[in-house]
Structure 1
Amino acid sequence: MSGKRIALVTCLQLPEPDPDELWLATAVQNRGVAAEVCAWDDPAVPWHQMDAAVLRSTWNYPDCHSDFIRWATKVNGLTRLYNPLETVIWNSNKRYLLELFEWGFPVVPTTVVGKTQPVDGFTGWPQAEEWVVKPAISAGSRGTKRFHHTQRNETIRHIQLLQTRGDVLVQPYLKSVEERGEHAVVVIDNEVSHAVRKTARFEGDDEHVSQAVVPTAQETALAMAVLEKIGRKLPYARVDMAPDDQGNPLIMELELIEPSLFLKQCPKALERLADTLVGL
């Protein structure tokens, strides 16, 4: 071992297993660098002794968002944090979708209902047969539900429930997700490596993903254009997309904090990410 230590950051109580963890830790260690799986919410971790802290499965952060951002800010002063702190803060609230739209990127139509905004008389309903309602700060589809447009009262009650914790997103449900699936496009060290096809996932559902697939030229171009606009070279990123009615990709989510990267499905991506982390 070289003496270099990289923390692969998780949480004390994982909501679900991280399929990337063992593969990535082993690949890094095979390169002579210590890969230590450390929980962000474990006060005993000596972050100052780490050469880098790489966020991987911090999937409980939506339940304690302020604490997580305070931790990330502190650790950013003790070691090198990846992805960078400013990226983490910006990407931790799905309001970033509105900013992507303002920048001219194709994004699933999104209305944000503020935490204190009255829902009675709400006029931002999507022009769609079905709607998706989700927290603006969330992970793993927690709090994400699908409603038929005739279920307006049920939808309002769910929005009000989510408002007790923060802002809420209201979006149309894209039928293309059922027909073609959502594509999660993985980018490693500024290069698209692969994608997987995901089924629609709502609160309480398990995630079902395909083997690695080759992203389309449109998907690749869109993913790289978004990351170029952000203007920061990132070790890893994931851009989730689904086609619109004309078959053109729409951005569903931009995952820059702790995305699953489906490394088991693409050994080349695993090797590239391990090389990138060792070189940080």
Structure 2
Amino acid sequence: MKIVALATCAKLPELDEEERLVLGPLSDLGIRAVPAVWDDPTVDWSSFDLTVLRTTWDYATRRDEFLTWAHTVPHLLNPAATVEANTDKRYLASLAVPTVPTVFLAPGEAFTAPDGEYVLKPTVSAGSLDTGRYGPADAPLAAAHVARLHAAGRTVMVQPYLAAVDDAGETALLYFNGEFSHAIRKGPMLTGPDLGTDALFHGEEITARVPSAAERALGDALVGTLDAPLYARVDLIPGPDGTPVLVELELTEPSLFLGQDAGAPARFARAIAARL
């Protein structure tokens, strides 16, 4: 029997509940799946036929340690090189698809509050942690947010807040081995400034969604440029003119929302099996 490690973090040693939905379909395929905490020194990663990154959601403030670990794991998916490139959101500047306009501020670079509403977040983050929404009246809080991130050596992203998300929400398209699987809608999450939290992730309002033709076209084109990741999540928001723009391309540890589509757990299990 093949054995697959599903890498997680110490706060979720048995995985997130939705992620566990793949265990049964993998078992049906003759594959034993074992949750394993990525920074547990007692785990022998070489004993697994494959390690799949899943709920390693505590890596953001320990990225160097996480990448060092990833480069030591044999048969890691997605691969360590992909993880290294994808865990710093400055990758957005290199993609040939429409993205949310972004200014990157490295530590020491001055922050000037934009006009209108805007979003501040670090280039290395997970689950919308350290992310806040600001308006003209919030300049002192925004400056404090930037200062807090810069003091920790983190680069800050400054983006306009796209108001269409309040009604349309965000669309996430899920792909397994390059093939579209399903999509979901995320409701708006950012209600105001970020005041600092040690929570692992923010709660999300999630429902199933059928993506538009324009969303599928953007997602399919983007995933088609990638080097066959086991999974990819393409997060989109309507831009000012209504056409979709990319918020993030998630290739490291995205939630796959397996509970939002009845066939998704089996599709993901088959994708994993195909890589063994």
CA distance in 2 between counterparts of 1:169 and 1:208 reads 24
SS at match of 1:53: strand
CA contact (8 A) 1:186 1:239 kept: yes
Q: Which of the numbers 158, 169, 177 marks the counterpart of 2:165?
A: 177
SS at match of 1:171: strand
Q: Which of the numbers 76, 79, 82 marks the counterpart of 1:84?
A: 79
Partner of 2:224: 228
CA distance in 2 between counterparts of 1:116 and 1:19 reads 41
How far off its partner does 1:13 sit? 1.8
Q: Please list, as runs of the form range in 1=range in 2, the aligned pairs for 1:80-119 lying within 5 A after superposition.
A: 80-100=75-95, 103=96, 105-117=97-109, 119=110
Q: Which of the numbers 167, 189, 195 marks the counterpart of 2:183?
A: 195
Asked if 1:214 is matched to 2:210, the reply is yes
Aligned length, in residue pairs? 265
CA contact (8 A) 2:121 2:130 kept: yes
Equivalent residue letter for 1:274: A
Partner of 1:73: 71
Relative to structure 1, the CA distance from residue 74 to residue 15 in structure 2 (aligned partners, 3 Å threshold; closer, same or farther) is closer
CA distance in 2 between counterparts of 1:191 and 1:172 reads 31
Equivalent residue letter for 1:224: D
How far off its partner does 1:151 sit? 2.2
CA contact (8 A) 2:171 2:237 kept: yes
CA contact (8 A) 2:13 2:36 kept: no
CA distance in 2 between counterparts of 1:146 and 1:22 reads 32
How far off its partner does 1:32 sit? 1.0
CA distance in 2 between counterparts of 1:21 and 1:47 reads 20
Q: Which of the numbers 43, 46, 54 marks the counterpart of 1:45?
A: 43
Partner of 1:167: 155
CA distance in 2 between counterparts of 1:267 and 1:234 reads 22
SS at match of 1:146: strand
How far off its partner does 1:208 sit? 1.0
Equivalent residue letter for 2:251: L
CA distance in 1 between counterparts of 2:13 and 2:250 reads 18
Moved more, 195-204 or 152-161: 195-204
Partner of 1:145: 132
Q: Which of the numbers 132, 141, 164 marks the counterpart of 1:154?
A: 141
CA distance in 2 between counterparts of 1:195 and 1:216 reads 10
Partner of 1:57: 55
CA contact (8 A) 1:19 1:262 kept: no
Q: String of CA shifts for 1:152-181, please: whole Å, max 9, x gaps.
A: 232111111011231111101111110110
Relative to structure 1, the CA distance from residue 126 to residue 228 in structure 2 (aligned partners, 3 Å threshold; closer, same or farther) is farther
SS at match of 2:206: coil
Moved more, 168-177 or 23-32: 23-32
CA distance in 2 between counterparts of 1:126 and 1:239 reads 27
Relative to structure 1, the CA distance from residue 73 to residue 18 in structure 2 (aligned partners, 3 Å threshold; closer, same or farther) is same
Asked if 1:186 is matched to 2:174, the reply is yes
CA distance in 1 between counterparts of 2:218 and 2:102 reads 18
How far off its partner does 1:215 sit? 1.1
Moved more, 50-59 or 17-26: 17-26
Structure 2: segments with no counterpart, 5+ residues:
none
Moved more, 149-158 or 39-48: 149-158
Using the size of structure 2 for normalisation, the TM-score is 0.91
Q: String of CA shifts for 1:29-58, please: whole Å, max 9, x gaps.
A: 121111000110111111001011000100
CA distance in 2 between counterparts of 1:73 and 1:12 reads 20
Equivalent residue letter for 2:160: P
Relative to structure 1, the CA distance from residue 182 to residue 16 in structure 2 (aligned partners, 3 Å threshold; closer, same or farther) is farther
Structure 1: segments with no counterpart, 5+ residues:
none
Q: Which of the numbers 270, 276, 279 marks the counterpart of 2:271?
A: 276
